[in-house]
Amino acid sequence: MLEAAIKPDVQAFFDKRTNSVQYVVADPVTRHCAIIDSILDFDEKSGSTAPVNADRILEFVDANSLKVEWILETHPHADHFSAADYLRTKTGATTAIGRHIVEVQALWKRFYNWPDFPADGSQWDHLFNAGDYFSIGKLTGAVMFSPGHTLASVTYVIGDSAFIHDTMFMPDGGTARCDFPGGSAEHLWQSIESILALPDDTRVFVGHDYQPGGREPLWESTVGDQKRHNIHVSQCNSQAEFVAMRQARDKTLPMPRLILAALQVNMNGGRLPEPEANGERFLKIPLNALGDAKWD
C-alpha cells in the first residue's frame, strides 16, 4: 500500500465543451509532474483542431517551474481528442496507458477497416500492467486495472490521490456508462469495488463533471464520500442491482457526439491521421457501425 501521508499537488483544468477534467499532478519537493487525460480541442462543425487546452497546461507547467515526466492516459476517450502526442513533442515526456489498449485497438481497427493498423500499443512509450509502480519525482504511483467503461481503463493511485477517470463521477453524478463496444457493467462494478477498498480518506479525482442541477463544476471527493453518497453506488446493494440499473440507464443515452472521430485519434496515441496526397488530413466515419444507437 502506498504511503497515504504523501500528498501530491493536484491542479485541475476543466473543459466546458466536453465536461472533461485534465490534471497536473506534481511532487511538491522535486517539482516533477505528470499530466493526466489531456485534451486536444476539436470543433466537429468546422473540422478545426487547436491546442488551447494543452497550451493552457503548458503555461501552468512553465509558470510553476515544473518538469513533466509522464503524459498519462486513463483510457481511450470517446468524447474528446487526446493531446498526448502534442504534449510529448513539447515536453519530451514519456507517454503511457494501460496495456489493455491493445484490445481496444484490435476491436476498433475493424470498425475503421484498418487491417494494417498496428494494434500493439506501440503508439505509446510505455504500457502499464495492473500492479505496476512508477515514480513522479519522489512520489510513487500505482496502476489499478479498472475496466467496465472501456476494455483498457486504468486508475492511477498517486500518493493519497486516486485518478479514477470514468468509473465514478462526483457523488451526485453517479457512475459511467458501459455500453460502448467492449464495455461491461459487471466489470465496472468490480472496478468500483476495488477503488472503494482504498482508505476512506483517499482523495478521488474524476474524469468528467456534468454539473447536475446546473451547479458549478466539481472534480474532487474522497473514497468515503463515494461510499456514502454516490447516487448509484449507495443505492445498489449487489452487483446484480448495479448491472440492472446501469444497463437500463445506458439504453436512454445517445452516443457521445465525437466517439467515431475521437477513437481513431485516441487509439493512435493522440496522433491525427496522416496527411493524404493533397496534404490534408481526413477523419474516417463508419456508417451504422454502432448498431441501433439512440439518437439525440
| Average pLDDT, integer, range 270-281 | 97
Among the listed residues 109, 192, 106, the one whose alpha carbon sits nearest the alpha carbon of residue 147: 192
The answer to whether residue 144 scores a pLDDT higher than 60 is: yes
Cα separation of 105 and 135, whole Å?
27
pLDDT in tens, 94-140: 999 999 999 999 999 999 999 999 999 999 999 999 999 999 999 99
Domains and CATH numbers, the chain: 9-266 (3.60.15.10)
pLDDT in tens, 179-235: 999 999 999 999 999 999 999 999 999 999 999 999 999 999 999 999 999 999 999
pLDDT at 171: 98
The answer to whether residue 5 scores a pLDDT higher than 60 is: no
Helix (H) and strand (E) counts in the chain: 7, 14
Cβ atoms 194, 164 nearer than 8 A = no
With cut-offs at 50, 70 and 90, classify the pLDDT of residue 1. Answer: very low
The one-character DSSP state at 176 is: -
| Average pLDDT, integer, range 240-269 | 96
**SS3 label, residue 3:** coil
Tell me the pTM. Answer: 0.96
Burial 76-107 (b: 16+ CB within 10 A, else e): bbbbbbbbbbbbbebbebbbbbbbbbbbbbeb
pLDDT in tens, 156-190: 999 999 999 999 999 999 999 999 999 999 999 99
Q: What's the angle, vertex CA 158, arms to CA 152 and CA 164, rounded to 5?
A: 40
Cβ atoms 134, 191 nearer than 8 A = no
pLDDT in tens, 62-88: 999 999 999 999 999 999 999 999 999
**All cell numbers assigned to 164:** 479514477
Q: Where are the alpha helices (DSSP H) in the chain?
A: 52-63, 84-91, 101-111, 185-196, 223-229, 239-250, 259-266
Q: 67: which strand partners? A: 32
